[in-house]
Structure 1
């Protein structure tokens, strides 16, 4: 049970992501928007057949399988890095966040054929693409993994 807290982190990320998506799917029609913070934040229901910033979204459908395989490959690489002790504690936590987020979106691809997005931030006419809880776990996890890598690099140079 050496990695129990990491398994729990990944599973909690997936569960929070799926609960939030099912709540939005239950209350919203496609493309509906509800303003939460005027001129800054809305909840909406949109879908993404691609990846971040709709990368590859306008293709014929092969990208769904590509992103599913990519999630498994990256998650396997991260899990192996954790197992081999390549990350510090922060990096291990970050890897679990990324894995949980990646599989939250994989679940969407299997169930819906696309990813459910619903968080929309904007200012005047400038919009950040809609995203979801899984994307948040992935982004924060990547940032923490970079910080961990910098910390580990300093440790290795000092040794």
Structure 2
């Protein structure tokens, strides 16, 4: 009887271990499938729901704060510390900066980054696709400072379809 109980416990532990390994493999496969085709960069970003802006080098330099309204993305230039955590940006879809994505009205911040002026507010209209959220990294260099803007969301099951991750930036307004 004791032997049967011992073997039953071993069998249960074996099933639990196999299930755990299987789950890790599933997560790993999803991660590889999602990240590699989407990013032109050679690194991966953890799937943590947050939005941050990072700056490297030089104190008291200009950094751009990003806010979201119901229909617009607002870039606000200001002085700040080396690291700034921003508000969560729900339903924000950032498009990878690639020439192959077709949209007549679409422009990227890269097209206007040389004209960004401290103290001005830049507003971009965008369209939202309610089917998915994803992670995108945008970076630029201004005054020899490297800035990176990272958008993250918890949805792991998004397919490799750029139209699902699109932020169409158009009608730039400078206040």
TM bucket normalised to smaller: under 0.3
Looking at secondary structure, tell me which structure has more helix per residue: 1
TM-score between both structures, scaled by the size of structure 1: 0.25
> TM-score, with normalisation over the residues of structure 2?
0.23
Whichever structure has more strand as a proportion of its residues is: 2
